[in-house]
A and B are shown apart, each in its own frame.
Chain A
Amino acid sequence: MSPAPRDHGVLIGMMSLEDDARVDFSLLRGERRAKVLSGMETHGLDALMLGGSGDVHYVSGARQLGRAGVLPYAPVAVVVRETGRVHLMSTWDEGVPPEIAREDLYGLSWNPMSLMASLANVPGLRDSRRVGTDGLTPMFAAMISQLVGSAELVDAAPVMAAARRIKAADEITCLDVASAIAESALSAMEDALRPGIAERELLGIYDEHVARLGAPTPPSESVCFATPSRGPVRFRHLASDRPVGDGELVVLAPGALYAGYEAGLARTRVAGQSAPPGAADLLSRCARSMEALLAACRAGNTGADLYRAWEDAGGVESPVPLAHGLGLGAEPPVIGLGRGAEASLEEGMVLSVQSWVAEEGVGGCLQRATVVIESGGASALTRYGRL
């Protein structure tokens, strides 16, 4: 490939190209691993035992089975500083990148005792003095302590969260691709939106579309809801059987994953021809608040600046976060819901930013964007017409 394509657009696709123009995943994994090992050095950690799916993905780069929900902690990936090796719980090597050799794998076990026996064979792990984990259970705390003797069990977050927080250029490209997939899903949902369609049908169309594009695991199935033009308006997360009413404002909020990286966006559309009176005002209020939030997403600002921007634009307390981090899934900080006033924004962070406004008698309106913090301010990775 050309050393650095001047038109970034050539990178935005999922198939590999003959000239290797797109993301060089081997390079990306190498960068991530180097960041982790150097963080371990800085924080004096000899080993990491990780269970969080984003952390495991970050250190291993393995294609793992997508599953909904969060499981209690278990050590799925191990990083040993002395050897520089990453070990992964996988009974086979399909989906495992080549730098994780077959001898670096340990098998899936149901019995935690067998798991511990496998881990005992990981070179260098038992000699660790400080071991970072990204969670624990009382059972694993006891078992890991037994495995690593007198080693101290500490939080892996200073290494992992720090490594994941600022995105490398190839990570941004992955997020760009995820954004494009999400935009494509939004187009499909928009095409299907009409009075009478049920939310669950729209969810089905969304899932069908992202699967067909090769990204079948949705970051969230909370992708659409109709808002009533009469009575109280609530932000809803679960798709219902209820048919969308003529003239209702409908939130379409698809996300997508590409190589584990998550992006998403939301737009609000009117189902049918006639919007309820007051809809135009509500939509422009939503857009103004969004602009205010985006303007506050600057390096050096804090969560408090987002709160202030939101309030100055007339926003009332939001039932969803104003912003949160994105990368290999959702990440800290969470700004909103009373959290994150002190979180600082730095160049290279990626955020999901959202503006939700509602008015009884009209409905609700959501705008959401995926943005990267750059030196001059926030730059949107997701692009889509407002209305």
Chain B
Amino acid sequence: MRRERFQKLQDGLSAGGLDGLVLLGSSSVVYATGAAMPAQDGDRAALFRAVAVVVKGESAPHLYTLYADGAPPELPSDHLHGPLFPDLDDGMDLFAKALTAHFAAGAGIGVDHQSHAMLRGLSGFDWADASGVLGAAKLQKTVDEVSCIRQAQLLNELAMVDALRILRPGVRQIDLSAVFLRRVFELGASAGGIDPIWQVMAPTREIGPWTLHGDLAYPTVTTDRFLRHGDVIWVDAGIVWEGYASDYGRTWITGADPNAQQLVQFRRWRSVVDACLDILKPGVSGLQLGKVAIQANDGVRPWIEHFYLAHGVGTDSAEMPLIGTDFGDQFDEQLIMQPGMVAVFEPVIWEDGAAGYRSEDIVAVTDTGWIKLSGSTYDPYGFGA
């Protein structure tokens, strides 16, 4: 898997006329090198970041890391280096030396982030945006990548069984996080992804949080809020296994079974996703998927304005393909589904006055259709293929 990913980056370098890549974002480093690193919060992850250097024509990436225990076993020892500190002026002598060892003066290098220390201290290269090369490589997953996403998702779903089990009036949002996080690490998660979300959905938009666009606010941040009888909870959580993110989305109800109206919401959600899956195969455009989703929801767009009908998942929790975003219809029309793309369908069914239903189905596009990577239980709403 790591070899195949590296080859894709090499192909991208050739196609883009670049001499190499210097990658600083956590998920890009993971993609390029396969390095494991402990999940860390924002500025800690930045100050002690790992750096990947990909040199055109070489057979393996260079990894500069503080976390040598996370280096993949096959990485040649002369490709594993101590950490660089790209955020510090004090780190530029090391960084410049490293780059001089890999690249000739004037080399064209793709980069995903630049600190001002780098802008001051690393002159003599022609910097370009790495997003083109990375985006193209990441868009279609290999079979092994798809397996990693499925495994991450399985661990996530299993840990959610335990969290759902404790849900009753009086439990707080953070209590659900506590049970979920403990269980998911016991089960084998490599790292956490996002702070798990257990948002209580107010029955109408009007009494939910104020938003710029008038549509729903989602996701809001977990607190010690108590969950009370009848609260409709939109759950969202992502963890990481071998560098790949899961994406769990379900609707739960506190202390009650879904009523008839809520079950209808669920069935409508199912029918929207099914309408998409009915046509999903290579060659179908994002715009076509959006259209059938809207049609299945009686002409109402079944997703939140600031989000999407579907998004990809990989070493990032949300990546291309994005369908139904502010990139617009023309973008969606040109977005053609291809084998190996992974799509997380997360439509939202909303009945103002009676809240709504939201879950996430993850599928990978195959040569002829799709396979499902997420599970098919939607407790407490039941099963749905």
- A residues sitting closer than 8 Å to B (CB atoms) are 52-54, 63-73, 91-95, 102, 105-111, 114, 133-139, 141, 154-157, 200-201, 203-205, 207-209, 211-214, 216-222, 234, 236-239, 241, 257, 262, 320, 324, 328-334, 337-340, 342-343
Beta-carbon contact of A238 and B195 below 8 Å? no
Residues of chain A lying within 8 A (CB to CB) of residue B129: 137-139
Identity of the chain B residue whose Cβ is nearest the Cβ of A67 in the assembled complex? B194
A–B pairs, 7, beta carbons within 8 Å: A63-B221, A110-B325, A137-B111, A137-B129, A137-B131, A211-B181, A237-B38
Using a CB–CB cutoff of 8 Å, the interface residues on chain B facing chain A are 24-28, 36-49, 66-70, 82-83, 85, 87-88, 90-91, 94, 111-116, 119-120, 127-129, 131, 174-175, 177-179, 181-186, 188, 190-197, 209-213, 217, 219-224, 240, 306, 308, 317, 322, 325-328, 331
Residue of B41, B49, B192, B195 with most partner-chain A CB within 10 A = B41
**Distance in angstroms between the alpha carbons of A82 and B113 in the assembled complex:** 29
Partner of A92, one of B195, B217, B327: B217
| Chain A residues with CB below 8 A from B69, complex form | 234, 236-238
B82 pairs with A65, CB closer than 8 A: no
Q: A52-B43, A137-B113, A204-B183 are in contact. Are A66 and B195 (CB under 8 A)?
A: yes
In the bound complex, CA of A243 to CA of B102 (Å)? 41
Cross-chain contact B82 with A208 (CB below 8 angstroms)? no
Q: State in angstroms the CA–CA spacing of A213 and B174 once bound together.
A: 8
Tell me, in angstroms, the Cα distance from A106 to B66 when the chains sit together: 36
Residues of B close to A201: CB separation below 8 A:
185-186
Tell me the bound Cα distance from A70 to B39 in angstroms.
10
A351 to chain B, nearest CB (A): 13
Interface core residue of A92, A207, A241, A324 (most chain B CB under 10 Å):
A92
Q: How far is the CA of A329 from the CA of B252 in the complex (A)?
A: 33
CA of A139 to CA of B112, assembled, Å: 9
Are A68 and B193 also in contact (CB < 8 A) when A107-B306, A329-B41, A339-B91 are? Answer: yes
Most buried by A among B28, B183, B224: B224
Instruction: Give chain B nearest CB distance to A306 CB in angstroms.
Output: 14
| Shortest Cβ distance from B30 into A: residue | A69
A238-B67 contact, Cβ under 8 Å, with A95-B221, A205-B182: yes
- Whether B24 and A72, one on each chain, are in contact in the complex, defined by CB atoms closer than 8 angstroms, is yes
Chain A residues whose CB sits within 8 angstroms of the CB of B317 once the complex forms: 67
Complex alpha-carbon distance, A218 and B328, angstroms: 37
State the 5 A-B residue pairs at the shortest beta-carbon distance, nearest first.
Answer: A53-B42, A329-B43, A69-B26, A68-B39, A92-B217
Please name all residues of chain B whose beta carbon is closer than 8 Å to the beta carbon of A340 when the two chains form the complex.
90
- B174 pairs with A262, CB closer than 8 A: no
Residues on the B chain within 8 Å of A154, using CB: 116
User: Given contacts A107-B306, A200-B188, A241-B188, are A220 and B40 in contact (CB under 8 A)?
Assistant: yes
Is the Cβ of A216 less than 8 Å from the Cβ of B114?
A: no
Q: Which residue of A lies closest to B94 (CB)?
A: A338
Q: Are B25 and A71 in contact (CB under 8 A)?
A: yes
